Structure 1
Amino acid sequence: MTVPATPRGVPELLATVRELVPNIVEGAADRDRERQLPREEIDALSATGALAITVPATHGGAGGGASAAFELTRLLATADPNVAQVPQSHFVYLRLVELAGSTALKDEIFAAVLTGERVANAQSERGGRTITDISTRIIVDGSDAVVTGEKFYSTGSLLADWLAVLGRDDDGVDHVGFVRDNTRGVSIVDDWTGMGQRTTASGTITFDDVRLPATHVVPRSEAVTGPYGYGALAQGLHAAIDVGIARGALAEASAFVRSSSHPWFEAQVDRAEDDPLLVQRFGELEVEVRAAESALHVAGAAVDHVDRVRTDDAAAEASLQVAAAKVLADRAALAVTNGLFELGGTRASDDRLNLHRHWRNARTHTLHDPIRWKLQHLGRWTVRGERPPRGPQL
């Protein structure tokens, strides 16, 4: 894959992503309808070097933090949230490598990402009582390690070069192993059947006694338990996807009203966009989207601040800011994608237009890490001064 010979800075990389947005938008409805994976779009994104935006400057990258990753993800989600979700885990696990990876792993992974390679997650499992029940095993055996187990909802795995697999050793300690996608014993099946986010390249992965260097195994607790904002980064990226869904759907709703909607007769106007009640509703939704965008910006700054000061207070504040951003993003995405039909009228429900993909994407993606628990953590902080617990979802 061809990537820029000279690493570019964060502003330049974000500008490049903005240039890609129209091309990603163009085929989004058809990709969803036909369940066609966005391989070309993701390859084009990698080729710009944008997916290396968080690679530390010490390893030749742009050194962007959470704010850069959030904005890149939001931009992509305005065009197609499926494309945006593919690199979500990529940024999370690059952060894990930065915080807790061996020197050898940092050198290998960061160099690979600078050439356009991608990391996907292999985390969720079927059958456990909760998402914290892990049956996959990662056992270190001398200079090697062995991974055995099965994962599903492995977002981005069908388009990845590396798989970050969560497993547990015999002592109950969680580790993440970084495995090449073509390693012997790795099998990936394209079997994601969700009603929304249909083209996130998610699949079931089987690891059949897969061997990897022990240096490619990272103890996850080092990143999760320290004051690093690791969970806040992961959650903020999910919020960025929802914020992008809201903005993209609102833009399509306004375009549809201008081009295709008839005015309601009682408005006594010639064009739907001149209906004062319609304009009012658009204004209300614009407020929701702008609030979510602003909260996401504040949350990104809070997570970046943690990386500078590494204190418990800063880590708690980052989690709370991200929790607030996620609540607002969830509400905005669902409000706009539902309101699209209210604003567009009966014509908007024509299945051939596939406008319902926005709602399906929002409804599916907002099921990640329910906001009712974000509200709990915010409420406990407000009432009792109780800091949110640390974890991969906080």
Structure 2
Amino acid sequence: MTAVIADRIESAARAIDVARNLAAEFALGAAARDRDRELPYAQVDRLAASGLLAITVPAAFGGADLPPTVVAEVVRIIATADPNIAQIPHSHFVYLNLLRLAGDPAQQARYFGAVLDGARIANAQSERGGVTVADIATTVRPEGERLRIDGAKYYCTGSLFADLLAVLTRLDDPNAESGLAPGEYVVYLPADTPGVRIVDDWNGIGQRTTGSGTIIFDGVLVEPDQLVARNAAVRAPTGYGAYAQLLHAAIDAGIARGALTAATDFVRQYSRPWFEADVERAVDDPLLIQRFGELAVTVTAAEATLSAAGLAVDAAVEGGGTRSAAALPVDVTTDRSDAVAHASLTVATAKILADRAANEVSAALFEVAGTRSAAADLNLHHFWRNARTHTLHDPVRWKYQHIGRALLHDAPPPQHGVF
């Protein structure tokens, strides 16, 4: 377990203040870390020690129980400085939410307590080789009185920095020896468990320091109480997918704001005006002023929509406590279904606008800043590479589909982990 001693954050105002202070620290050297692929171990330690990683722990277990709006704003603020660091705890918050929705009280006490003490959770979810990303080949099956995990996971963001791995598995138990219901389970697994091999092989063009490598599971033995059934959170009106997507949109909105700030600073300090503008400073070029106005509107629209989406997710999960949707009265579940559908569609809109803003503004940085900005040593292209890489997570073209179907057919959005 991590040796970090974490502070306790008790309010939204304090969380935002801490995030802003950390962002100012993380911005220093962010371009150089990206350029040299210097993994941010010290920065992630600072993040864990700050207490920000525990802000969603329910009050019943000693946490601040802060809502999705605050978490999204924390992530967005950090992403303006270094989107790599902002993405690292994405899965941490998602799998804390899974515990809140589907874990039993003993599991919640154990893992929420660990996070309050500074522990970090990373995902081991995605696989290669299936027909789609939803196909899960990694199995958990009975082995005596325990269970055994075998398989391989890829794009395991944050795994190099993690204390716990949230491993998505498929139960392989044809003789029902385990006593568990068929389905998908997330196993909460200490990263140093025998049989776990974390490989630092992530080579994406962007988000280069997120620790998103491969994990091999070879005969990893676990206890039954490390397993959490996923369906209670994912296949019910809980807002699980909307919450996860909200944080992805926050990363993209943060990249857009960071790129716009970098472009503004560069033009103010270094850019020369085009001679036809007949001005002495680039900042007085009317065409540049126009373009910066357009880019500012794009970024502000993405941020405003992100805020609206956060409020919708807050409303969808409000009052859920630590209960799954299956444990709620029928009338409450029905009401929540409407709120969750609204949240999912609002987050989809935010994701579209944040995707657009991140890619457009990070590319326009060079358009407005001029030739000098393309110097390789400046590494200003890390904004575009980060935007282009992170926005590949799930295609926004399907967001348009679900929004359109809801409008024309009154069709509710799907209930799964990416919507």
Sort the TM-score into its range (normalised by shorter chain): over 0.9
Residue from 157, 178, 183 that aligns with 1:173: 183
State the partner residue of 2:371.
346
Aligned pairs for 1:1-394 within 5 A: 1-4=4-7, 6-140=8-142, 144-170=146-172, 173-308=183-318, 310=333, 311-394=336-419
Deviations 1:109-149 (A, max 9, x none): 11111111100000011111110111000225575332111
TM-score normalised per structure 1? 0.98
What is the deviation of 1:280?
0.7
Q: Structure 2: how far apart are the matches of 1:140 and 1:226?
A: 27
Q: Structure 2: how far apart are the matches of 1:250 and 1:380?
A: 34
Q: SS at the partner of 1:227?
A: coil
What is the deviation of 1:8?
2.4
Bigger shift: residues 314-323 or 143-152: 143-152
Bigger shift: residues 102-111 or 195-204: 102-111
Q: SS at the partner of 1:104?
A: helix
What is the deviation of 1:331?
0.3
Percent of paired sites with the same residue: 54
Q: Structure 1: how far apart are the matches of 2:107 and 2:67?
A: 20
What is the deviation of 1:214?
0.9
8 A contact 1:186–1:208 mirrored in 2: yes
8 A contact 1:7–1:60 mirrored in 2: no
TM-score normalised per structure 2? 0.92
Output the amino acid matched with 2:407: T
Deviations 1:325-380 (A, max 9, x none): 00000000011001000000111111111001110000000111100000000111
Runs (4+) of structure 1 exceeding 6 A deviation are none
Q: Structure 2: how far apart are the matches of 1:98 and 1:390?
A: 17
Structure 1 gap ranges (5+): none
Q: Structure 2: how far apart are the matches of 1:68 and 1:119?
A: 19
Bigger shift: residues 329-338 or 307-316: 307-316
What is the deviation of 1:170?
2.4
What is the deviation of 1:194?
0.3
What is the deviation of 1:266?
1.1
Bigger shift: residues 247-256 or 218-227: 218-227
Output the amino acid matched with 2:220: V
Structure 2 gap ranges (5+): 174-181, 320-332
Output the amino acid matched with 2:122: A
Q: SS at the partner of 2:249?
A: helix
Aligned residues: 393
Q: SS at the partner of 1:290?
A: helix
Two-structure CA RMSD over aligned residues (Å) = 1.2
